[in-house]
Amino acid sequence: MAVRLQATQVPGGISGNLSPSNRNPNAVIRFGRGSSKRNRLVSLSASLREGDGRGKESSVRAVEVKKILEDSPLLPKPLSSNQLAETVSNGSRVRVAYQGVRGAYSESAAEKAYPNCEAVPCEEFDTAFEAVERWLVDRAVLPIENSLGGSIHRNYDLLLRHNLHIVGEVKLAVRHCLLANYGVKLEDLRRVLSHPQALAQCENTLTRLGLVREAVDDTAGAAKQIAFEDLSDAAAVASAKAAEIYGLNIVAEDIQDDTDNVTRFLMLAREPIIPGTNRLFKTSIVFSLEEGPGVLFKALAVFALRQINLTKIESRPLRKNPLRASGGLKYFDYLFYVDFEASMADEVAQNALRHLEEFATFLRVLGSYPVDTTML
C-alpha cells in the first residue's frame, strides 16, 4: 500500500464562514491607525533617555509611555482564542501567526521565513494553530526545539491535535540581552524576568550577577512589562529588537551561556507542499507501536536498512491511552516523532514508510519540506 501525502479538507468550522468561498475578504484584524500616535512612538526612546532621575517626572513619563505603547498601531495586541471568529485573512500579504508579542524571537523567525510578511502575534501556541485552520492567517511559524533547551513539547502535542502540515523550517540564532529602563544601572538590579528557557540559557551570567529569576510567558513580554511598569530593580532577558521597540537600555549583550544558541522553527500551513528531489528535504512523521522486545529497534531499522539518516527522535505520552496492560503488567504508551533526511518524492523514503506501516499501530506524515541550510 503506497504512502501518500494528502491535502486536508478544512471544514467550515464553528462559525460556518471559514472556507475561501464564503469568507469576507475585507475583514481584517484591526490594530488601529493614526499618524499622531505613530510620531509619538518614534520619539519614545528619546523621551526615555531624558534624565537619570527616578522621581515624579520619571513616574509621569512611565504612565505616558504605557499609554503610547497600548495605543500604538505599531504594537498590535496578541490575538486571543476569543478573537479567532472575528477576522479573516484579506489576501493582500502573507499573514503569518507567531506566539508572543512584538519583539519576540518568534516574530524574527516569521520574518526570516516569510520576508515582507504581515506577522500576527498570538497569545498562545494553540491560538496560532487555530488561526491557520480557520483561515484567519495563511501560515504559522512556531518553535519546536532549541540547541540548549531541547524540545518544545507543547508544540509536538499540538502537531498531532491539529490538521496542519509542516511546509518548511527556519533556524534562528538567539542572542540574549539584559534590558532595563534608562537610568537603571547594573548594580541597581535585584531580579530578572523572562521565559523559563531564556533564563535557563543565561544561567551562569544571571548567577554571577546574583539576580532572582522570575518566569513569564515570553521574552518580549518581559521587556514590555519592564517598560510598562517602569521597574527600577528589574531587567528582562530579551532581544535587541525588543529593546528598540519598548524603549529599553541594553545593559549587557550576548549573555547566553553558549554562543551556539539556535532555535528551530516549523512553518505550518493548511495544505502540504509537493515534495521534490532537487534539493535537500526533510520528512517528519509520528507513529506508535505495540509493546514488545525490539519493536522500537525494528521501527528504526527500516531507515537504517535504506541508509536514511535520522535527525531527530522524540517520544511523547499517548494521552488518550497512557497506560497499556500486557502480560499482567502496565506499560507507558508512547508516540514517536521522527525527522529523517529524505523527500517523500524519493522511492526509498516511500518504501521505508511502507515497511514501518506493516507493524506500526498508527502512522502519520506531518510534512516533507526543504531543509534550512542557512546555518550549516
Q: Decide: 208 and 186 in contact? Cβ < 8 Å.
A: no
Of the candidates 115, 24, 2, the one whose C-alpha atom is nearest the C-alpha of residue 363 is 2
Neighbours of 287 (CB within 10 A): 19
Of the candidates 99, 87, 92, the one whose C-alpha atom is nearest the C-alpha of residue 197 is 99
SS3 361: strand
Question: Which residue in the list 129, 265, 336, 340 is annotated as catalytic?
Answer: 265
Q: Say whether 125 is catalytic.
A: no
Q: Say whether 87 is catalytic.
A: no
Question: Which residue in the list 127, 263, 281, 303 is annotated as catalytic?
Answer: 263
Residue 371 is classified by DSSP as: -
Residue 24 is classified by DSSP as: -
Of the candidates 341, 280, 345, the one whose C-alpha atom is nearest the C-alpha of residue 306 is 341
Residue 79 is classified by DSSP as: B
Burial of residue 111 (CB within 10 Å: 0-12, 13-18, 19+) is middle
Q: Indicate the residue type of 102.
A: R
By annotation, the residues acting in catalysis are 263, 265
